[in-house]
Amino acid sequence: MDALKSRILSGAGCPPAGICTVAFSGGADSTALLLCLHELQEQLQLDLRAVHVHHGIRGEEADRDAAFCAAFCRQYGIPFQLIRVDVPAYAAAQKLSLETAARRLRYEALNSAAPEGVIATAHHAGDNAETVLFHLIRGSGMKGLRGILPHNGRICRPLLSADKSEILSFLQARGQGYVEDSTNAEDDSSRNRIRHSIMPLLLQENPAALRHIAEAAEALAADDALLREQAEHAAEACAVSGGLQGLADYPAPLRMRVYLRQLERLPVHVDPNRKMLEAIDGLVLHKAGKLTLTRNVYAQVHRGILYIRAEMPPSDSAFPLKIGRNMLYPDKICEAVLLDTAAISRNYHKADTRSTLDFDKIKGKPYFRQWRGTDRIRLPGRSFTSALKTCVQAAVPIPERRLLYALYDAEGCIYCEQIGIAARVKPDADSRRILTLQILRG
């Protein structure tokens, strides 16, 4: 059996039976992967497909690559998709490097084109070693030093244990051509400089360097998985009021992974480094303070609770209430349930009505929007209206104030999370339909 086939069949990144979509650039690595999986298709019971992402850069050369991939798939009868993205425009809009923008758009395109099964990429042992060195040089923690994982969500890397020489030998044995990306020969990026200048010296020093780096990365990945599991338990134990309390009682390695967990759950992309994590840790240990992590992400400790938030820009947009789950804010859902009082025995008009409304007293169509300081509300049991801003400032921690669910009708605010309902929609003995609102986190 070919060495490359053996690598795939025995490797941790071997795709499971079912739909397998190969990220096909047309280069030597992805061409060898697609051809090898095509030959193993029956043995592995794969529904094999291919996607080529045209990045909108490199001009005629990129068009040549797309044409090669399409012709290759026609020759072997492999279903093929071509997706075009505009990397330069996206990079300019998001203020990213072309390399980072291309990687982000590529994976978005792959996930969109292949909503089912696994996505196979052609990363090999050399790529893995370069990744470990890249993260080591830039000061990454264990997450970076664990290298490229054989499986990461829906992504699998069948060639991760293979050497470049095995890939080229496989193609040569079959007389299979491929295309060359001219930018791979340039030294504009850190990864290319590592590949062209540092890796040859390491291999000259020790021909087994790739294997040793891979073994170290694999060991670190196992350690990181264990610590991440423990950090998940710590975060769950410390969860309170939309933040985390009591983290200072845990060892520093677990605290750092809890911060990573929170950053990864944000709706915006954050590229954390050790300096950022240590800055968050400083807030936790001092039990107070606020700092900006990126342009729109901040961390704050308020009354002993750590909040890591993505700033929500002010918005006047209205979002119609739907019966069921309403999700306007990250990790926070407002679940709306409408009940007929004839079907329930509880006297809602005598119970706590902070989040229970008489649905038939709502004027017009109810909708959510971000609350404003000029809004007013008369709470049950009061003969006067209050500024919603005053109510929020008195009851809600500062980091939570911009992320409150507030429900309105044609006459104004009728509900605000952590504040309560308006007196005019309070259920009474004559209520026939009851609307309950419950905030769910996570």
Hey, what long-range contacts does 195-199 have (CB within 8 A, 24 or more apart)? 195/126, 195/130, 198/133, 199/126, 199/129, 199/130, 199/133
Label residue 344 by pLDDT band (50, 70, 90). low
- Token pair, residue 49, equals 């497909």
Give tens-digit pLDDT for 214-227: 888 888 888 988 99
**Residue 185 confidence (pLDDT) above 70:** no
For the chain, give the mean pLDDT.
Answer: 87
Quote the pLDDT of residue 255. Answer: 93
Start-to-end CA span in the chain (Å): 49
Parallel, antiparallel or unpaired: strands 324-329 and 319-320: unpaired
Q: How distant is the alpha carbon of residue 405 from its chain centre?
A: 23
Check pLDDT > 70 for residue 425.
Answer: yes
Buried b / exposed e along 198-232 (16+ C-beta atoms within 10 A): ebeebeeeeeeebeebbeebbebbeebeebbebbe
Contacts of 391 (CB under 8 A, 6+ apart): 377, 379, 416, 419
Q: Where are the domains of the chain?
A: 3-189, 241-310, 319-441
C-beta of residue 120 within 8 angstroms of C-beta of residue 20: yes
- Same topology for domains 3-189 and 241-310, yes or no? no
Tell me the percentage of the chain whose pLDDT exceeds 70.
94
CB 170 within 8 A of CB 4: yes
Beta bridge partners of 376: 387
Question: What local confidence, expressed as pLDDT, does residue 187 receive?
Answer: 67
Give the three-state DSSP class for 43: helix
> What does DSSP assign to residue 230?
H
What distance in Å separates the CA atoms of residue 403 and residue 313, rounded to the nearest whole number?
10
260/94 Cα distance (integer angstroms) = 22
Give the C-alpha separation, 105 to 114, whole Å: 14
- Express as a percent the part of the chain with pLDDT over 90: 40
The pLDDT of residue 195: 83
Tell me the pLDDT tens digit for each residue of 280-329: 999 999 988 888 888 778 888 988 899 888 765 555 678 899 898 888 87
Residue 353 has pLDDT above 60, yes or no: no
Chain segment 39-90, per-residue pLDDT in tens: 999 999 999 999 998 888 888 888 899 999 999 999 999 999 999 888 888 8
Place of tokens 């060359």: 180
| pLDDT attached to residue 78 | 95
Distance separating alpha carbons of residues 329 and 6, to the nearest angstrom = 48
CATH class, range 241-310: alpha beta
Looking at per-residue confidence, does 105 or 77 come out higher? 77
CA-nearest of 179, 160, 139, 191 to 15 is: 160
Whether residue 345 has pLDDT greater than 60: no
Query: Which tens digit of pLDDT belongs to each residue from 220-248?
Result: 888 988 998 999 999 999 988 778 999 99
Question: Alpha carbon of 334 to those of 67, 188, 406, 442: distances in Å?
Answer: 49, 48, 10, 11
Q: Please give the CATH number for the structural domain made up of 3-189.
A: 3.40.50.620
